[in-house]
Amino acid sequence: MKILVIDNYDSFTYNLVHYLEDLNCKVTIYRNDEFDIDEIKNFDKILLSPGPGIPDEAGLLKEVIKTYAATKSILGVCLGQQAIGEVFGGSLINLEKVYHGVATNVNILVDNESLFDGIEKQIEVGRYHSWVVNTSDFPDVLEITSTDENGQIMSLRHKTYDVRGVQFHPESVLTPNGKKILENWVNSRQ
């Protein structure tokens, strides 16, 4: 399995890479502003890493989604999920409370989400963010697959494409099921 990780200049990126390598994936890393969009076509899956700021400040991040959503399996983490939300017509909300190294409970809302196969309906996750995808103008082409206790979107998926996102960090020690979630994505076939 050849996986491309788009590094959005985040220190957590290499934790994700190590998890993927532990799952026997061949991982290549491109910084979000140091590649040509055509270089991606030979990868099986694309992981969009966390990162600072907002998606519009993250190089070619949104262009990757626009170009490959219909043909590649994509998983967005934190900033990556936010970019997915925006690309498909949603907006972001800047939260009053910043979550940095905070463990919270997340409720899984759907039974058939492959990311959560073999995982309980409520899980603890590690959060490191101040933005979330807005529920008030949530795009019809996407589906919310989990929320926190305040109804904030913690994961989503595209209704047609093999595109998914998680707001939380699966690579964090605060996400006990994180490696299983990544394994489920690696092994998923849509």
Catalytic residue positions, numbered: 78, 169, 171
Contact 156, 168 (CB under 8 A): no
Cα distances (angstroms) measured from residue 21 to each of 16, 27, 186: 9, 7, 11
Q: CA torsion sign, 123 to 128 to 130 to 134?
A: negative
